[in-house]
Amino acid sequence: MSHLEIFIINYLIRYSINLTAMSTTTSRKSRRHKLCEALESDIRRRGLRAGDTYLTATEAAELLGVSRATAHRAFQQLAAKGILRSKQRAGTVVGPSFQPWYDTPAQPSEQIRILLVQQRIREGHFFEDLLRSLHETLPGREVTISYVPDKGAFEFVQEILDQSPERKTGYLILGCPRSVHELVADQGLPVVVLGPTYFTAADLPSVSADNKQRGHLLAQHLLDNGHERIALLMPEMWIPGDIEVYEGVNEALSKNQVAHGALLLRNTPQEKKALGAEIEQLFSQPSPPSAIICKQRAVKAVEAALAALPSGAGKDVEIAIEITDIGPAYRDRYTHVACSSNLRERAERASELLKQLLNDEELEERHIRYPVELVKV
């Protein structure tokens, strides 16, 4: 397992545990139970099986930000269930009672490769849901995750394709740049995009939320609240979903016959310093925005930047988050949109499409778009 994969897994498991630790109403017993569940999920994320070496309780405590005593109690509880056990000279290993759902034959006839850009990683149990969906829909296939770099993505994926074994391979793409979409489309491979596609590779089958509707609903909500100047903060590297959100925002502004200049579009890195400078520049204008649409990962930086504005200029600015699978930390604080289908359901649908392609079946529907709805706070 690469250092990048370990980092991502550790981030996801830390995120899950931190949310548990934040709850002051949860009992110690409940927190320990949730910690045990999170540790079992981590074992599955790492693809471990009975007898494989796992973290020690001390390592888990340091990694997850909990006390050693709490980690030891959780390990004891898992040991009692046979999920973990101590082995002389080997430390902690996965126990015989752990039954992974991802067991595959020694030499599967087909494999599934997930091509994923690191920056598009979702929080929570996304990977577990995705992998479970693939294994349940396509049992007996080896599943491999390849983290595609932002720079040199085309060359990276081309090398993967050149080195692919003789056995049949299906590909699931998440958040990759245009060059990757075009490359796999040109080769006629069994591919499904979990998310929207680029116009230049529009024939690739895809499963996603309705991103244009996403932008339209948020912009309409802000207009209904009386906002006449709206800032839309987008990442430097756009993907099709970002383009569709922008189109939806513009569509709402046009429908309401809003004056030219009502939308302030900014492409900016998500780092706190860069966003802070952008917010400062926006509010130095004669007519600053009274509302901001941004991605979830930018919210903390936006909050800090608004709080730092002189004379409390940012305290009444309304923030709307433009992703469909918002984390619980923001769910009750900011207006956002929710998809009619959760990540697990969308992953299952993508797995079904990939299964049809691997079986050389004709797809009845190539682009599946799930509607979204506005969630006000």
In a domain, 53, yes or no: yes
In a domain, 104, yes or no: no
Cα–Cα dist 22/8, whole Å = 21
Same-domain pairing of 219 and 309: yes
Residue 102 in any domain: the answer is: no
Answer yes or no: do 215 and 335 share one domain: yes
219 and 331 share one domain: yes
In this prediction, residue 28 carries a pLDDT of 56
pLDDT, position 247: 95
What's the CATH number where 137 sits?
3.40.50.2300
Most confident range, picked from 105-109, 141-145, 368-372: 368-372
For residue 170, which phi and psi values (nearest 5 degrees)? -105, 150
Q: Kindly state whether residues 137 and 215 are assigned to the same domain.
A: no
- Verify that 123 and 155 share a domain, yes or no: yes
Whole-number Å distance between alpha carbons of 254 and 28 = 53
Domain identity same for 266 and 295: yes
Number of domains in the chain: 3
The pLDDT value recorded for residue 101 is 65
Tell me: the pLDDT tens digits for 116-150?
875 545 444 567 778 888 888 888 788 887 888 87
pTM above 0.75, yes or no: no
Same domain for 236 and 330, yes or no, is yes
Instruction: Say which CATH number the domain at 67 has.
Output: 1.10.10.10
Instruction: Kindly state the percentage of the chain with pLDDT values over 70.
Output: 85
241, part of any domain? yes
Most confident of 59-68, 84-93, 301-310: 301-310
- Least confident stretch, 163-177, 252-266, 280-294: 163-177
Residue 376 is assigned to a structural domain of this protein: no
Task: Please state which of the ranges 104-113, 180-189, 273-282, 361-370 shows the lowest mean pLDDT.
Answer: 104-113
CB 211 within 8 A of CB 244: yes
Task: Flag whether 375 is in a domain.
Answer: no
Residues 49 and 157 in one domain: no
348 with 278, same domain: the answer is no
CB 110 within 8 A of CB 170: yes
Would you say residue 187 has pLDDT above 60?
yes
Q: Which of 94, 128, 152 is the last residue of a domain?
A: 94
Looking at the structure, tell me whether residues 231 and 300 fall in a common domain: yes
Give the residue numbers spanning the domain of 44.
3-94
Residue 277: inside a domain: yes
319 with 217, same domain: the answer is: yes
pLDDT score, position 324: 76
In a domain, 31, yes or no: yes
For 137, residues 6+ apart whose C-beta sits below 8 A from its C-beta are: 348, 351, 352, 354, 355
- Which of 38, 62, 94 is the last residue in one of the domains? 94
Q: Is residue 171 domain-shared with residue 284, that is, in the same domain?
A: no
Mean pLDDT across the stretch 150-162? 88
| Residue 13: pLDDT band with limits 50, 70, 90 | very low
